[in-house]
Amino acid sequence: MTETPDFRIEHDSMGEVKVPASALWRAQTQRAVENFPISGATLEDEHVKAIARVKAAAATANEELGVLTPEQAGAIRDAAAAIVGGQHLDQFPIDVFQTGSGTSSNMNMNEVLASLTTAAGVELHPNDHVNASQSSNDTFPTSIHVAAAVATTGDLVPGLEILEHALAAKGTQFRDLVKSGRTHLMDATPVTLGQEFDGYAAVVRMAAERLQATLPRVLELPLGGTAVGTGINTPDGFAEKAIAALASDTGLAFTEARNHFEAQGGRDALVELSGQLRTIAVGLTKICNDLRWMGSGPTTGLAEVTLPDLQPGSSIMPGKVNPVLPEATLMVCAQVIGNDVTVTTAGASGVFELNVMMPVIARNVLESIRLLANASRVLAARCVDGIEPNEERLRGYAESSPSIVTPLNKYIGYEEASKVAKAALKKGQTIRETVLEMGYVERGDLTEEQMDAALDVRSMTGS
């Protein structure tokens, strides 16, 4: 092979490789680029940054243990900090569908960092220095846990809190607005619109609580187990020092895995986290479907609330406006639920000492976190905050529902109350009118005052 203005020649244990002249990566990365032209999708940027964080932490531990000199470790940390800060992210081109251990991406980082340190005047080897005391088999899964924990605590939980607060504010605003409850999409006894929104806020609040409950397992890191969990080629104290550096860097309480063989043979903590993300998607699906139903219309739907008008809804029907934010969020939820199926399947692919589908687990978990965080913020700001009630429609539905006959059970019994409901529905009358017409007050089954108190729709809400 000969070098050209566009390509340079790099070497690895398998021989020569042509690499783009401007690339910071080297031979092993280039081989992976050529071997895996599959999806065009690479690791999430936040995952790349997490790998850089792990390399910086490893350099600190190696410096403290005498494996690297202060100059070498400092050069690695400086180069890694540039990547964490968002530089050079275009230097990580390997497809997510690659070797299942993530070795290709680990070497991609090793090579880029070595090139950056060399450019800064400190010549380092990707394996001997940047990857010192490490294996892809412990470094790569550690990076997934770091990325997932950082994204969950720094992005998703705050996004959920924004949505919860928006829904709770509407719960307070709508606390006195009575509406018809619905079960099976059929009329049921009254609730307040505020009660429904308080329920939505609780769904989101519990989602954040579930994430917090799962985090301790995600914060356990396999770093230090190297190839198979035994810690071969790792000096005593490496895991403790490297993980302490990661904790200091991120502000998160990372700990060393209680059992390195569990921590490398399976990815159960990430499967658990993905399950929580799926649960969040299920809850948001219910909320968004309710919002679409309540906002349906404007003349032939429920039209109990008005959602903000954000954009024209039809290319053929003038004036039509659609619930675009709930729909977008529903698609996010569908994607997250699908991602969880992938994570579950990949999580079951641990054989002996290593899971061999880690890159796709990482991609799907981190995508789910990102999508849910962004959707929660946008749904709050551009939909929930602007919801307005249609008070007359709400009250009218509540008072016309045949289910408000329910409190009369204690006066005339279930079967007689059922007759009242059916008669009112057939004649198009109110329940009150039908009770009077059927003679229950005249016969003394209940007084008119008792009837009016029983049929007070606000009192039926328990609020």
CATH of the domain at 421: 1.10.40.30
Closest CA to 376 of 450, 325, 307, 442: 325
132, 163, 186 - which closes a domain = 132
Reply yes or no on whether the pLDDT at 311 is more than 90. no
Q: Is 58 strand, coil or helix?
A: helix
Region of poorest pLDDT, from 80-89, 239-248, 329-338, 399-408: 399-408
pLDDT above 80: residue 1: no
Active site residue 459: no
pLDDT above 90: residue 343 = yes
Percent of the chain with pLDDT over 90: 95
57 & 190 share domain: no
Residue 103 annotated as lining a ligand binding site: yes
Q: What is the CATH number of the domain that holds 90?
A: 1.10.275.10
CA proximity to 153, closest of 61, 43, 245, 46: 46
Asked if residue 425 and residue 369 are part of one domain, the reply reads no
| Annotation marks residue 314 as catalytic | yes
Return the pLDDT at 197: 99
What DSSP character marks residue 68? S
Instruction: Tell me whether strands 354-355 and 350-351 are parallel, antiparallel or unpaired.
Output: antiparallel
CA distance 47 to 128: 23
pLDDT band at 177 (very low <50, low <70, confident <90, very high): very high
pLDDT score of 319: 81
- Residue 357 has a pLDDT of 98
Q: What pLDDT sits at residue 75? A: 99
pLDDT score, position 317: 81
Residue 1 lies in a domain: no
Q: Which entry of 39, 248, 314, 459 is annotated as an active-site residue?
A: 314
Let me know: does 304 contact 179? Beta carbons within 8 Å.
yes
Pairing mode of beta strands 15-20, 305-306:
unpaired
Q: Is position 178 within any domain?
A: yes
Q: Are 188 and 332 contained in the same domain?
A: yes
> What CATH code is carried by the domain that includes residue 274?
1.20.200.10
**Strand 7-12 to 220-221 pairing:** unpaired
pLDDT-derived band at 340, boundaries 50, 70, 90: very high
Segment 253-282 shows an average pLDDT of 98
Residue 107 has pLDDT above 80, yes or no: yes
Residue 102 assigned as binding residue: yes
Residues 418 and 450 occupy one common structural domain: yes
H or E element in which residue 350 lies: strand 350-351
Question: Quick one: 273 and 406 in the same domain?
Answer: no
pLDDT tens profile 373-395: 999 999 999 999 999 999 999 99
- Clarify whether residues 356 and 441 are in a common domain: no
Residue 224 lies in a domain: yes
- DSSP for 115-134 reads HHHHHTT----IIIIITTT-
In a domain, 372, yes or no: yes
pLDDT score of 417: 96
Q: Which of 94, 176, 185, 208 is nearest to 391 (CA)?
A: 176
463 is in an annotated binding site: no
pLDDT tens figures, 3-26: 788 999 999 999 999 999 999 999
Task: Concatenate the DSSP letters of all residues of 373-393 into one string.
Answer: HHHHHHHHHHTGGG-EE-HHH
Same-domain check for residues 328 and 355 = yes
Residue 29 structural domain: 7-132
Are 271 and 344 a contacting pair, CB within 8 Å? yes
Query: What is the reported pLDDT for 332?
Result: 99
Going by the DSSP 8-state scheme, the letter that residue 93 receives in this structure is -
Looking at the structure, do residues 384 and 447 belong to the same domain, yes or no?
A: no
> What's the whole-number average pLDDT of the chain?
97
Q: Tell me: do 172 and 275 sit in the same domain.
A: yes
- 127 known member of a binding site: yes
pLDDT bucket at 316, cuts 50 / 70 / 90: confident
Of all residues in the chain, the percent with pLDDT exceeding 70 is 100
**Cβ neighbours of residue 54 closer than 8 Å, sequence gap 6 or more:** 139, 142, 143, 146, 223, 242, 246
DSSP alpha helix (H) spans, 152-267: 157-173, 193-218, 238-250, 260-265
Which pLDDT score is estimated for 463?
82
C-beta of residue 29 within 8 angstroms of C-beta of residue 111: yes
pLDDT tens digits for range 292-309: 999 999 999 999 999 999
Does 400 show up as a binding residue in the annotation? Answer: no
Q: Which two tokens stand for residue 373?
A: 């965080």
Query: Tens of pLDDT along 275-284?
Result: 999 999 999 9
* pLDDT of 143 above 80: yes
Kindly name the residue from 184, 274, 418, 463 that is annotated as catalytic.
184
Task: Please write the tens of the pLDDT for every residue from 44-94.
Answer: 999 999 999 999 999 999 999 999 999 999 999 999 999 999 999 999 999
pLDDT surpassing 80 at residue 315: no
Residues 354 and 206 grouped into a single domain: yes
Instruction: Give the pLDDT mean for 438-447.
Output: 96
24 burial level (CB within 10 Å; 0-12, 13-18, 19+): buried
User: Any known ligand binding at 37?
Assistant: no
pLDDT average, residue stretch 331-335: 99
Same domain, 182 and 288: yes
Structural contact between residues 28 and 85, judged by C-beta atoms closer than 8 angstroms: no
How many domains does the structure of the chain reveal?
A: 3
Whether residue 194 lies inside any domain: the answer is yes
User: Of 132, 154, 171, which closes a domain?
Assistant: 132
355 SS3 class: strand
> How far apart, in whole angstroms, are the C-alpha atoms of residue 49 and residue 112?
12
Q: How far is CA 214 from CA 149, 152, 268, in A?
A: 10, 11, 11
Residue 180's DSSP bridge partners are: 190
| Inter-helix orientation angle 324-347/358-382, to 10° | 160
Give pTM, 2 decimals. Answer: 0.95
Residues 176 and 321 in one domain: yes
Report whether pLDDT(2) > 80. no
- Output the CA–CA distances (angstroms, integers) from residue 144 to 124, 138, 156, 362, in the order listed: 25, 10, 16, 6
Which amino acid type is present at position 366?
L
- Residue 406: DSSP 8-state: G
As given in the structure block, the two tokens for residue 290 are 């309710």
Q: Does residue 2 form part of some domain?
A: no
- 321 band by pLDDT with thresholds 50, 70 and 90: confident
Helix or strand holding residue 351 (H, E): strand 350-351
Q: State residue 459's pLDDT score.
A: 96
- Is the peptide bond between 308 and the residue preceding it cis, with omega within 30 degrees of 0? no
The residue among 115, 132, 149 that closes a domain is 132
C-alpha separations of 184 from 95, 188, 193, 422, 431 in Å: 46, 9, 18, 18, 22
Flag whether 409 is in a domain.
yes
Q: What is the dihedral of CA 457, 458, 459, 463, to 10 degrees?
A: 140
The reply to whether 22 sits in an annotated binding site is: no
Cα gap 227→289, rounded to integer Å: 48
Instruction: Say how far apart CA 425 and CA 430 lie, in whole Å.
Output: 8
φ, ψ at 438 (rounded to 5°):
-85, 0
Q: How far apart are CA 396 and CA 375, in angstroms?
A: 33
Domain for residue 99, yes or no?
Answer: yes
Give the Cβ contact number of residue 431 at 10 Å: 26
